[in-house]
C-alpha cells in the first residue's frame, strides 16, 4: 500500500513539472506558481505521512478494511491535485476558470478529511498522539477553509490562489511539528 501512495504522490509532483513544461513564457510568476505547486504537494505529503506512518491499524478485520477503503479517496485526490496543478500552471497567463479551483480544493479537502478518518483506525502511541490530536482538528478546519477559497476565485489569480492554499496547509504542519517537538524534547503534553 505504501508504494502506491508514493507513486501517486510522485504523480502530483510530475503534474506540477509537466504543467511548468507547458508554460511557453517562463516568467517569474510561472516559477512562483511552480514552487507553490511543489510546496502544496510536499505539505500534503508531510500531513499524510506524519499522521499515518509508523503505526499499525487497530486489531480486527474491519479496521483493515476501513484502512484500505479510506485510502481510495486519498489516492484519487492526490492524482486530481497533480492534474489540477498541471492545468493551473499551463494556464497561468490566462488565469484558470473557477471550475478548476473548485476541483482542486475539493480534492485537497477530501485528502485532509480522509487523513483524519484514517487516524481513527490506527493505533496511536503517546508520542504519535502529541502530533495527531492537535493536527486532526486543524485538518478538519483547514479542509473547510479550503472549500471556501473557490468562492473568492474571481478575485484570485493563480499565484494568490496557490498561496492561500499553501498557507492553509502550512498551519497544521507547523502546529503539529511544534506540538511534537514540545512533547519529544520538553515533555509538554
Q: What values do phi and psi take at 57, rounded to 5?
A: -75, 160
Contact 172, 135 (CB under 8 A): yes
Read off the pTM.
Answer: 0.86
Give me the residue label for grid cell 486530481: 80
Distance, CA of 118 to chain centre: 14
Cell numbers that stand for 171 in this block = 498551519
Instruction: Find out whether 114 and 48 touch, Cβ atoms under 8 Å.
Output: no
User: Per residue of the chain (189 residues), what is the pLDDT tens digit?
Assistant: 444 455 556 666 766 666 666 667 777 888 888 889 989 988 998 888 877 766 676 778 888 888 888 888 988 898 899 889 888 888 877 766 778 999 999 999 999 999 999 888 887 766 666 677 788 899 999 999 999 999 988 788 889 999 999 999 999 999 888 877 776 677 665
pLDDT at site 109: 97
Listed in sequence order, the residues at least 6 apart from 131 whose beta carbon sits closer than 8 Å to its beta carbon are 50, 51, 176, 177, 179, 180, 183
- 8 Å CB contact between 59 and 30: no
The per-type count for the chain, helices as H runs and strands as E runs, is 6, 0
Amino acid at each position: 500500500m505504501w508504494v502506491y501512495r508514493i507513486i501517486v504522490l510522485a504523480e502530483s509532483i510530475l503534474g506540477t513539472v509537466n504543467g511548468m513544461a507547458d508554460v511557453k513564457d517562463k516568467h517569474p510568476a510561472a516559477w512562483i506558481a511552480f514552487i507553490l505547486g511543489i510546496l502544496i504537494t510536499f505539505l500534503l505529503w508531510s500531513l499524510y505521512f506524519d499522521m499515518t506512518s509508523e503505526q499499525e491499524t487497530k486489531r480486527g478485520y474491519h479496521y483493515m478494511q476501513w484502512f484500505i477503503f479510506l485510502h481510495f479517496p486519498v489516492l484519487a485526490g492526490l492524482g486530481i491535485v497533480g492534474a489540477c496543478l498541471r492545468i493551473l500552471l499551463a494556464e497561468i497567463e490566462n488565469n484558470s476558470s473557477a471550475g478548476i479551483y473548485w476541483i482542486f480544493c475539493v480534492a485537497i479537502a477530501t485528502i485532509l478529511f480522509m487523513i483524519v478518518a484514517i487516524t481513527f483506525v490506527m493505533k496511536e502511541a503517546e508520542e504519535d498522539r502529541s502530533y495527531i490530536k492537535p493536527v486532526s482538528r486543524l485538518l478538519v478546519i483547514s479542509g473547510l477553509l479550503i472549500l471556501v477559497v473557490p468562492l473568492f476565485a474571481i478575485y484570485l489569480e493563480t499565484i494568490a490562489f496557490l498561496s492561500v492554499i499553501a498557507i492553509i496547509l502550512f498551519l497544521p504542519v507547523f502546529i503539529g511539528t511544534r506540538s511534537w517537538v514540545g512533547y519529544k524534547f520538553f515533555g509538554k503534553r
